Amino acid sequence: MEQNKDFETLYQEWKETTDKLMERFPERKESFQTSSNIDIDRLYLPDQLDSSYMEQLGLPGQYPFTRGIQPTMYRARYWTMRQYAGFGSAEETNNRFQYLLKQGQTGLSVAFDLPTQIGYDSDHSMSRGEVGKVGVAIDSLEDMEALLKDIPLDKVSTSMTINAPAAVLLAMYIVVAEKQGVSSDCISGTIQNDILKEYIARGTYIFPPKPSMRLITDIFAYCTKEVPKWNTISISGYHIREAGATAAQELAFTIANGKAYVEAALEAGLDIDEFAPRLAFFFNAHNEFFEEVAKFRAARRMWAKIMKETYKAQNRKSWQLRFHTQTGGSTLTAQQPDNNIVRVTVQALSAIIGGTQSLHTNSRDEALALPTEDSARIALRTQQILANESGVADTVDPLAGSYFVENLTNEIEQYANEYLEKIDELGGAVSAVEQGYMQREIHHTSYETQKAIEKGEQIVVGMNAYQLEDEPQPELHRVDPSLQKRQIEKLGKIREHRDEHRASAQLEALRVGAKGKDNLMPLIISCVRSYCTIGEICGVLREEFGEFTGI
């Protein structure tokens, strides 16, 4: 009884803090009701708060954050609807951004083409056929200026899916903001900057693991001081899942990678409570609804425990796992593409019930090509319908206390912890990646899945069951094939008009920096400012760091 009273006091304290918080961040409505006028409370709890509940679930906004990282969650503000977009030239992508912002999107998310992601200029021989295809082509600051033209960088937060050359793109963003008159401590956004999962699953690596980890910790250190509102990394399970992993593998390998970044930063002499609050995560939302919800909840609890207990972080912001979610691209079928809208809805719902901070919903036609404007709009509307019409955002962590979901949450955590132990035995995530351990585990799962689908044991509607005889061919998005030529011409002009001496001097300074131990961010910013291209900057680093050639 004595102890129960303590928990009651804790709950009262939570209520007071929440009320205080609501003075600054009020909820969307004075009160929430169902259609039958039943009041919807902010939070539902068991009749008795006991130690097991408080340790495993706790109160929202409090350790271990199983029930969410904010006390009011979506009652105050919906998740950020952040649709990943980018194709063709910077100008075309800028148009799509303006369109999406006008449609009510609340944050930007930039997709870069593969040459940009791998640090090649558009005129490099490896760039043939790839310029502007899976995202926007960025060669120099000039492209970045066009990309962000008329977008108020002090108001809009921008997520950039960029990894190996993350430092270069972040540098460009900082300089563009500066030219807009927005100082670097006012901009907000995210760079993916998660190189380990590139080796495991996504493939856009450039340098070997060691110098790559250095670039990452350099960014951590620089942003802590200069760009404090920037999420310096988005530790991504998304692509691990896309490569064929199970939910538990996705969770385990992502947390393992997260630990590796923390350890690298600690080794570089950074203070955990300075960089850890800016770490963000990125998960996949797949079809199995309850397991996905459990995965998100388990992820928060695992990370909080690791940060507090293993790494002794003191700042509660260091314990919070904040995450972006994207619905599962590999679950989409090329057959009967409209069915994908339904898949995306179920997946998005799991992310919302799981407490995501931001969400990208895939477009129905992504198994066929990049989305058309119509498809991209339906994808955004899906989120808006869930937010405004379904009522699922009106109470915090609505599935808590479900015997099934709590059990799944515990089991998926346990499953993931077993993997973490195994990875520790292999010497941590960097070493496990170098040994190909995660890659093998994922490949094994993905092949088994494929066999199950081909045998018809796993039904994929429209693909191996309920097929249509004559499918109509949908309208698809096309990228202008002449873009590469135009981009190359643009590049020529930049090289002609810039101060060549200054550009090459900055590149030399970067080379010297790369040989030594100085933080590379200021050097890269200077290069960018002098209109050095991404290929030139990464070229210098390639020469100094070497290239990763696969396992």
Judged by the rule CB under 8 A, the positions of this chain that interact with another protein are 114-115, 117-118, 120, 125-130, 133-134, 198, 202-204, 242-244, 330, 333-335, 367-370, 443, 446-447, 450, 454, 460, 463-464, 473, 476, 479, 481, 550
For another protein, the closer of residues 128 and 225 by Cβ is: 128
Q: Residue 207 CB, nearest distance to another protein (Å)?
A: 14
Q: Residue 478 CB, nearest distance to another protein (Å)?
A: 8
CA distance 88 to 100: 16
Q: Residue 440 CB, nearest distance to another protein (Å)?
A: 10
Q: Residue 44 CB, nearest distance to another protein (Å)?
A: 40
For another protein, the closer of residues 166 and 408 by Cβ is: 166
Q: Is 440 exposed, middle or buried, given 0-12, 13-18 or 19+ CB atoms closer than 10 A?
A: exposed
* Helix pair 373-389, 90-102: axis angle to 10 deg: 30
For another protein, the closer of residues 202 and 364 by Cβ is: 202
- Reading the block at residue 56, the tokens are 């495993």
Q: Residue 217 CB, nearest distance to another protein (Å)?
A: 24
- Reading the block at residue 104, the tokens are 């009510």
Q: Would you give the distance in Å from CA 465 to the centre of its chain?
A: 33
Q: Residue 293 CB, nearest distance to another protein (Å)?
A: 25
Sheet holding 189-191, edge to edge: 84-85, 108-111, 158-161, 189-191, 230-231
Q: Residue 337 CB, nearest distance to another protein (Å)?
A: 11
For another protein, the closer of residues 244 and 355 by Cβ is: 244
- Reading the block at residue 123, the tokens are 């005129």
For another protein, the closer of residues 258 and 337 by Cβ is: 337
* Helix pair 339-353, 289-305: axis angle to 10 deg: 30
For another protein, the closer of residues 17 and 330 by Cβ is: 330
CA distance 328 to 75: 26
Map tokens 């937060």 to a residue.
157
For another protein, the closer of residues 253 and 531 by Cβ is: 253
Q: Residue 516 CB, nearest distance to another protein (Å)?
A: 30
Q: Is 550 exposed, middle or buried, given 0-12, 13-18 or 19+ CB atoms closer than 10 A?
A: exposed
486-517 core/surface letters (b: 16 or more CB in 10 A; e: else) = bbbebbeebbeebeeeebeebbebbeebbeee
Q: Residue 395 CB, nearest distance to another protein (Å)?
A: 38
User: Which alpha helices (H) appear in 123-246, and where do they start and end?
Assistant: 141-147, 166-180, 195-197, 209-226, 238-242
In single-letter form, the type of residue at position 230 comes to W
CA distance 419 to 245: 13
For another protein, the closer of residues 112 and 220 by Cβ is: 112
Q: Residue 422 CB, nearest distance to another protein (Å)?
A: 22
Q: Residue 338 CB, nearest distance to another protein (Å)?
A: 16
Q: Residue 286 CB, nearest distance to another protein (Å)?
A: 14
For another protein, the closer of residues 374 and 406 by Cβ is: 374
Pairing of strands 32-33, 39-40: antiparallel
Residue 106: CB atoms within 10 A of its CB come to 16
User: Is there a contact between 138 and 165 (Cβ–Cβ < 8 Å)?
Assistant: no
For another protein, the closer of residues 218 and 366 by Cβ is: 366
Compute CA distances 80 → 192, 325, 351, 407, 528, whole Å.
17, 10, 12, 29, 30
- First CA to last CA distance, the chain: 59
Phi, psi of 179 (to 5 degrees): -65, -25
For another protein, the closer of residues 218 and 242 by Cβ is: 242
For another protein, the closer of residues 128 and 210 by Cβ is: 128
